[in-house]
Amino acid sequence: MRLNGLLCCLVLTLLTGVASATDQAPIKEKAEEKAQVLEEKAADKPNAPPAPKSEAITSTEVQAVDPAGAAPLDDPITCLARSIYWEAKGKDTPEMEAVASVVMNRLGHEGFPDTVCAVVKQGSETKSCQFSWWCDGKPDQVKEDAEYALAKEIAGKALNRQLKDRTHGALYFHDRNVHPGWAKEYTKTAETAKFLFYKPAGGDAR
């Protein structure tokens, strides 16, 4: 009897999970559609004002996308959130927001792709990734749910153009503990507790 009871509980739990996932599907789809439109506008007009309420991704919508942190990176929210998470998880919120701004600043800028996923994955074909986590050979699945939820929240705000750009237009950044040679060729625009940010000094992005 006890085994039957446990099996019943397990079945109910699985059914509840399936129902919940089914309920979230339309919300997820709506969020991804909004994100794609916002991504296109950001690439076309980098200095566009914040999205109007009718077009903005809501917190509920953004959290419905890739809830387990294991989905393929093929939509703007997932690609941006995963990049924020892996580049700045465990750091302060300003660090995460700054990473999001760098990704968004690259959209539509000469020398960079015009979609978030392409920006994040740029250079992978030659093993010279712009974002190191994408080429480090390690699994990309999320490990900390709370930190990923925060990364998604920031990703939604970035796509909505609701984030203040702490980097002042930066296209590059690096950890304070490293000293890449390329940094000397660019103008430093901002710094946080963990990162330094740069943009081209009158030249083209590379």
Sequence ranges of the domains in the chain: 27-200
* pLDDT grade for 69, boundaries at 50, 70 and 90: very high
85-113 pLDDT, tens digit each? 999 988 889 999 999 999 999 998 888 99
For residue 138, pLDDT over 90 is answered with no
Give 132 or 86, the one with higher predicted confidence.
86
pLDDT at 136: 66
Region for 108 from its dihedrals, namely left if φ exceeds 0, alpha if ψ lies in -120 to 50, beta otherwise: left
Tokens coding 24 = 């979230």
pLDDT at 122: 86
Instruction: Single out the residue of 89, 87, 95, 84 nearest to residue 192, CA to CA.
Output: 95
Separate counts of helices (H) and strands (E) for the chain: 6, 3
Give the CA distances from residue 117 to residues 55, 80, 106, 113, in Å, rounded to whole numbers and listed in that order: 20, 7, 11, 9
Share of the chain above pLDDT 70, in %: 82
The residue-averaged pLDDT of 9-18 equals: 40
**Cβ within 8 Å of residue 87, ≥6 positions away:** 99, 131, 133
* First CA to last CA distance, the chain: 67
The residue-averaged pLDDT of 141-169 equals: 95
* pLDDT grade for 170, boundaries at 50, 70 and 90: very high
Highest mean pLDDT among 7-11, 32-36, 121-125: 32-36
* 158 and 99 Cβ atoms separated by less than 8 Å: no
The residue-averaged pLDDT of 122-136 equals: 69
Question: Distance between CA 75 and CA 62 in Å, rounded?
Answer: 12
Question: Distance between CA 162 and CA 37 in Å, rounded?
Answer: 15
If residue 23 lies in a helix (H) or strand (E), which one and from where to where? helix 2-44
* pLDDT grade for 179, boundaries at 50, 70 and 90: confident
Residue with tokens 């901002």: 190
Burial of 133 (0-12, 13-18, 19+ CB in 10 A): middle
Residue 164's identity, in one-letter code, is K
pLDDT at 47: 84
Largest CA distance in the chain: 76
